[in-house]
Amino acid sequence: MASRMALRPHGVTPPLAAGRGGRRNGSVRVLAVASSASAKIESKKTFAPPKEVHVQVTHSMPPQKMEIFQSLDGWARDNLLLHLKPVEKCWQPQDFLPDPASDGFHDEVKELRERAKEIPDDYLVCLVGDMITEEALPTYQTMLNTLDGVRDETGASPTAWAVWTRAWTAEENRHGDLLNKYLYLTGRVDMRQIEKTIQYLIGSGMDPRTENNPYLGFIYTSFQERATFISHGNTARHAKDFGDLKLAQICGIIASDEKRHETAYTKIVEKLFEIDPDGTVLALADMMRKKIAMPAHLMFDGQDEKLFDHFSMVAQRLGVYTARDYADILEFLVGRWKVPELTGLSGEGHKAQDYLCTLAGRIRKLDERAQSRAKQAGKMPFSWVYGREVQM
Ligand SMILES: [Fe+2]
Ligand SMILES: [Fe+2]
């Protein structure tokens, strides 16, 4: 039977930026690293905004559990890789964009720009934020390759886990490409500011708090694929409302990829629940207690220190991605993994189960309060739309 050990840190290193609060495991070690960290902090400032990240917990999965993932390689080959699409059967960004080699290119661009004229700034801000999130893909491939037992050890490793990660990345790469080219052609957004935001974001990385632990990592990716499926689905729906059916198609086709990826990642976690219910329920509770950070939470455009918060407020107000969606995703995953029906759990496992089964309701209550706050929020200028003010 799995124990709480699954979540106990084996190594704790201090955050890159001077952290406030956080765990103080092995304070001597923290102090020793702190003096040599000043140079690191200086170099971080040059390339990324001085955002704080949590105390970095590493390798929280006990080494003996690594064998679970090694022994699941055959399972992953048979059950995971089938959720990838062969390249020859995949859509490509060019399928949804004006063909620069065709005589009709200029007319098609003109039509695209006519349609895009109807798109309001607040919707553009959401679409740009989604595109920037997709464009920080190097960070997400890195994140997957931090996970013990499943990482791509060489860059061309033949394990099913590594094959999945590379092919998943290759599929995802089309999302940012398509949105980027579409937004460029609309002429409605400040591409230079957007490109700077992408550069800052990739330079900043992300802090998903998955601790090199594939239990935590695959719970995180399950959650995120569903979150992006929902948000791209909502931007598709809104584009239809503005009469831009091509844009609706673009957002919809990306959402369908996210759905396929969600199916794959939730299948991995389903398998972990089957093999190790106690360890997996503890991992899910741990991720939810820490809260699932959005992948682009460290975004910065060189101007707005709270850019991600402001983007999130617009997305919340427009209903592109809301606290209610967060609660719905949790509830969906708890049902998908049959958390309420788990039996034979340890005392801690039971507590985690209870916590998870009532959490969505509590988040919805918080959401009601957030909604009332959102009504009082003012306007903010966004550099992505040439500093025009957008309602929060
Ligand atoms: Fe994506
Ligand atoms: Fe995705």
Domains in the chain and their CATH numbers? 75-391 (1.10.620.20)
Query: What is the 94 CA–ligand 1 centroid distance (Å)?
Result: 17
CA distance 283 to 79: 22
Helix, strand, coil distribution of the chain in percent, nearest 5: 65, 5, 30
Under 8 Å between Cβ of 254 and 175 = yes
Instruction: State which amino acid sits at residue 26.
Output: G
Q: Which ligand is nearest to the CA of 265?
A: 2
Residues 6+ apart with CB under 8 A from 142: 205
**pLDDT of the residue at 52:** 74
Q: What b/e string do you get for 72-85 counting C-beta neighbours within 10 Å, with b at 16 or more?
A: bbeebeebbeebbe
Q: How far apart are alpha carbons 271 and 278 in whole angstroms?
A: 13
CB contact at 8 A, 7 and 212: no
What is the distance between the alpha carbons of residues 391 and 380, in angstroms, rounded to a whole number? 6
Catalytic residue among 91, 108, 142, 146: 91
Closest ligand to C-alpha of residue 225 is 2
Of the candidates 261, 266, 278, 322, the residue annotated as catalytic is 261
Taking a 5 Å cut-off on Cβ, the residues next to ion ligand 2 are 225, 228, 258, 261
CB 81 within 8 A of CB 163: yes
Angle in degrees, CA 78, 91, 264, rounded to 5: 30
Is residue 383 within 8 Å of 303, Cβ to Cβ? yes
Residue 67 in marked binding region: no
Q: What is the dihedral of CA 79, 145, 135, 315, to 10 degrees?
A: 70
Between CA 354 and CA 164 the distance in angstroms is: 33
* Per-residue pLDDT tens digits of the chain, which is 392 residues long: 333 333 333 333 333 333 323 332 322 233 333 334 444 545 555 666 556 788 899 999 999 999 999 999 999 999 999 999 999 999 999 999 999 999 999 999 999 999 999 899 999 999 999 999 999 999 999 999 999 999 999 999 999 999 999 999 999 999 999 999 999 999 999 999 999 999 999 999 999 999 999 999 999 999 999 999 999 999 999 999 999 999 999 999 999 999 999 999 999 999 999 999 999 999 999 999 999 999 999 999 999 999 999 999 999 999 999 999 999 999 999 999 999 999 999 999 999 999 999 999 999 998 888 777 766 779 999 999 999 999 98
DSSP string, 206-249: -----TT-HHHHHHHHHHHHHHHHHHHHHHHHHHHHTT-HHHHH
SS3 148: coil
* pLDDT recorded at residue 375: 65
Please, are residues 195 and 287 in contact by the beta-carbon 8 Å criterion? no
Cα-to-centroid distance, 83 and ligand 1 (Å): 15
| Ligand index nearest the alpha carbon of residue 176 | 1
* pLDDT recorded at residue 36: 46
368 marked as binding residue: no
Instruction: Find residue 381's DSSP bridge partners.
Output: 389
| Catalytic residue flag (residue 228) | yes
State the amino acid at position 181 in one-letter form. Answer: K
> Does residue 91 have an active-site annotation?
yes
Structure tokens at 119: 């798109």
Q: Is 171 annotated as a binding residue?
A: no
What's the gap in Å between 172 CA and the centre of ligand 1? 5
**d(CA 255, ligand 2 centre) in Å:** 8
Q: How far is the CA of 14 from the centre of ligand 1 (A)?
A: 31
Total Cβ atoms within 10 A of residue 344 = 9
Q: 172 among the known binding-site residues?
A: yes
Q: Which residue has the tokens 């790469």?
A: 173
How far is CA 55 from each of CA 22, 48, 201, rounded to the nearest angstrom? Answer: 6, 18, 20
Which residues fall within 8 angstroms of residue 66, CB to CB, at 6 or more apart?
148, 149
Report d(CA 237, CA 252) in Å as an integer: 8
Question: Does 258 participate in catalysis according to the annotation?
Answer: yes
Question: What's the angle, vertex CA 21, arms to CA 220 and CA 314, rounded to 5?
Answer: 50
Q: What is the pLDDT of residue 4?
A: 35
Q: Which of 73, 130, 148, 257 is catalytic?
A: 257
- Please tell me the predicted confidence (pLDDT) of residue 40: 52
CA of 340 to the centre of ligand 1 (A): 30
State the DSSP H helix or E strand holding residue 351, giving kind and residue range, or none if neither.
Answer: helix 347-376
Contact between residue 290 and residue 7 where contact means Cβ atoms under 8 Å apart: no
Q: Report the separation in Å between the CA atom of 258 and the middle of ligand 1, taken as the mean of its atom positions.
A: 6
Reply yes or no on whether 175 is catalytic: yes
> Residue 369: what pLDDT?
80
Q: 134 labelled as ligand-binding?
A: yes
Distance CA 377, CA 374 (A): 5
Place of tokens 């065709």: 102
Q: Fill in the amino acid letter for 323.
A: A
- The beta strands (E) that lie in the chain are given as 11-13, 56-58, 379-382, 388-391
Q: Note if 172 is an active site residue.
A: yes
What's the pTM value of the predicted model, to 2 decimals? 0.89
> Would you state the structure tokens that stand for residue 387, as one six-digit string?
């500093």
